[in-house]
Amino acid sequence: MKIKEIEAFDAYMKYGTMKAAAEELGISQPMMSRLLSNLEKYVEFKLFNRKRNQLEPTPEAYLYHSSVLRMMAGIIDTRKDAEAIANNQLGNIVIASQPTFCDTILLDVIKRFKAQHLDVGVRMLDVGLQELLKMIDKNTCDVALGITLEADNYSANVTPLAKCEARCIMHRTHPLAKEHIIPIQRLKNERFIDLMPDSPIRRRVDRLMQSIGANRNTVAEIRTMRGVCALVDRGVGVAIIDPVAELLLQGTSVISKPITPSIDWELAFLTSANRPTSRVSQSFFEHLKAEINRLKEMRILHD
């Protein structure tokens, strides 16, 4: 059974004559007759009684047409879906990201993406770096946004987006707020607000402080950059943060300063190496790149 045969049968049942049905489908009447005969052979029951030059539908034909109408509705939906997919207007996208980027970069990216892709579902999951890499490896997310630290052992295509340089933040009344650049040695005796020990950034900071013989005074540990910034805003201590977290400082009393020597890493877009990237995911990537370029213009991120 072919779709053309089903369409011919549907047209004849709707219009009642060979001529009208053929004109509706844009085919010749002999072709119309062949399509109906082929369908009748396929279904193995009589669809029409032939009287003179006219076909009269059998009772079975009317019953079968009810089924055909449901099938035609499905075909129409399938065609619409194909058109929507071709125009990046159908599907879902699952985004895995570290919490800092969920709270900052990705909010405006998703806003602009949804404005162009109204019927595409978006699911954003905030996860740690190791979980993010596992999700990419197991294809449980479509795309991911994270830093490149410790990203070598998983099946991911990694597209670097920007360079990140860590910043030191403190309350605006803190003595260090007067400095232009914070030498790392000046942080030896400071009270620190830290990310949890399993954070890659936390480990980088720990190693740097150990290299100068500093035992840090960590007064609080918290899982998210948003929480770190909030405690610094309350004067609990200082912190070293991802530069993107500066976007969380608007309206607070927190000051951000560069540190020396610098701690840097790359922000990257990740997709699975085991399956092709969908057109919807590629469109999301284009919106993400536009936002990254905006942050470079603000000098939050660097080439």
pLDDT tens digit sequence for 133-177: 888 888 888 899 988 765 455 578 889 999 999 999 999 999 999
- pLDDT of 91 strictly over 70: no
139 and 96 share a domain? yes
pLDDT interval class at 183 (50, 70, 90): very high
How far, CA to CA in Å, does 80 sit from each of 120, 122, 284? 14, 20, 22
For residue range 4-26, list pLDDT tens digits in order.
888 888 888 888 888 898 888 89
Highest mean pLDDT among 66-75, 81-90, 243-252, 278-287: 243-252
Percent of the residues in the chain that have a pLDDT greater than 70, as a whole number: 92
- pLDDT of 193 strictly over 70: yes
201 and 159 share a domain? no
173 and 249 share a domain? yes
The pLDDT of residue 135: 86
Structural domain includes residue 112 = yes
The pLDDT of residue 192: 94
The whole-number average pLDDT for the span 65-76 is: 77
Query: β-strands 182-183, 254-260: how paired?
Result: parallel
Name the residue among 250, 286, 244, 251 with its Cα closest to residue 269.
286
pLDDT interval class at 84 (50, 70, 90): low
Number of domains in the chain: 3
**Within 13 Å and on the Cβ side, how many CA atoms surround 202?**
19
- Which of 86, 120, 153 delimits the end of a domain? 86
The pLDDT of residue 118: 82
Structural domain includes residue 75 = yes
122 and 79 share a domain? no
Verdict on whether the full-model pTM lies above 0.75: no
For residue range 115-136, list pLDDT tens digits in order.
988 878 888 988 888 888 888 8
255 and 279 share a domain? no
The whole-number average pLDDT for the span 210-236 is: 90
For all residues of the chain together, what is the average pLDDT? Answer: 86
- Which of 60, 86, 112 delimits the end of a domain? 86
Which CATH number do you get for residue 206? 3.40.190.290
The pLDDT of residue 78: 66
- Which range marks the domain in which residue 293 is found? 91-163+266-297
The whole-number average pLDDT for the span 233-242 is: 95
Structural domain includes residue 134 = yes
Which CATH number do you get for residue 278? 3.40.190.10
The pLDDT of residue 9: 87
42 and 75 share a domain? yes
Which CATH number do you get for residue 71? 1.10.10.10
pLDDT interval class at 296 (50, 70, 90): very high
Cα first-last separation, the chain: 58
182 and 248 share a domain? yes
Higher pLDDT, 128 or 84: 128
Supply the DSSP symbol for 17. S
Instruction: In whole angstroms, give the CA distance from residue 98 to residue 201.
Output: 12
